[in-house]
Amino acid sequence: MFRKVKVGDMIREGSKRKRVLEVIDLSNGWQIVKTENEKSPLDFKVKLINSEHPQGLTIKHAHLAIDFYGKLCQDRGKALRILEAISKVWQGVNVKEVVNEYEPHTRGLVGYSLEYILYSLNWILEQEDVNFTGRPSDKQEELDEKIKRQGIKTPEGRRGSQLAIALFCDIASGIHPVEAFHSAGLRI
């Protein structure tokens, strides 16, 4: 078992200590936490706390994209329901409501639970928006098109997180994750 963290606790990150800003307790006993970060005054990191990672493992959208690819390989229909659920959360629908609506339709898939995916991505996408400083117009048009092809509408003020959503859209459209990461300009 691991020690549960609470808001205000300090957790180690290398030689530094970071304050826990928010905590979500998942039904499997894991915790997802927001900790301080340094890119901007509003910046934060999203971490998993569990028995394997009692000091926290930084959750990245790339981890979730690879998990999504595995789900697509197992059952494309159920995996596309996960993309729908991600889209709803991105649109601002309450995560718990989306988990309750979509969990019965995605049950049995390998990998991360829908609850873990949606709560993690909700914060990761928020963090991408917080740190967004702009992108070239041709890249913006490319992302707009990828997302539109999947029938997803970009919410106002969410351009920073569009890159992550476009990554999931690329994978859903049949692009291998490695190629999708390269297209997004993400290091793997």
| pLDDT band, residue 175 (cuts 50/70/90) | very high
| Percent of the chain topping pLDDT 70 | 98
Q: Is the pLDDT of residue 56 over 70?
A: yes
The mean pLDDT value of the chain amounts to: 93
Name the region of 21 (left: φ>0; alpha: ψ -120 to 50; beta: rest): alpha
The neighbour count for residue 82, using CB atoms within 10 Å, is 24
Tokens standing for residue 125? 């996408």
pLDDT of 99-113, one tens digit each? 999 999 999 999 999
**CA 93 – CA 51 distance, rounded (Å):** 30
Name the region of 146 (left: φ>0; alpha: ψ -120 to 50; beta: rest): alpha
Positions of E strands within 37-186 = 44-49, 57-58
Whether 35 contacts 18, CB under 8 Å: yes
Q: Which DSSP state fits 55?
A: T
Spatial CA neighbour of 51 closest among 88, 75, 73, 26: 26
**Mean pLDDT of the region 66-77:** 97
pLDDT of 3-35, one tens digit each? 899 999 998 887 888 999 999 999 999 999 999
pLDDT of 127-151, one tens digit each? 999 989 899 999 999 999 999 999 9
State residue 98's pLDDT score.
Answer: 98
State residue 1's pLDDT score.
Answer: 66
Q: Is the pLDDT of residue 188 over 80?
A: no
**CA 158 – CA 91 distance, rounded (Å):** 9
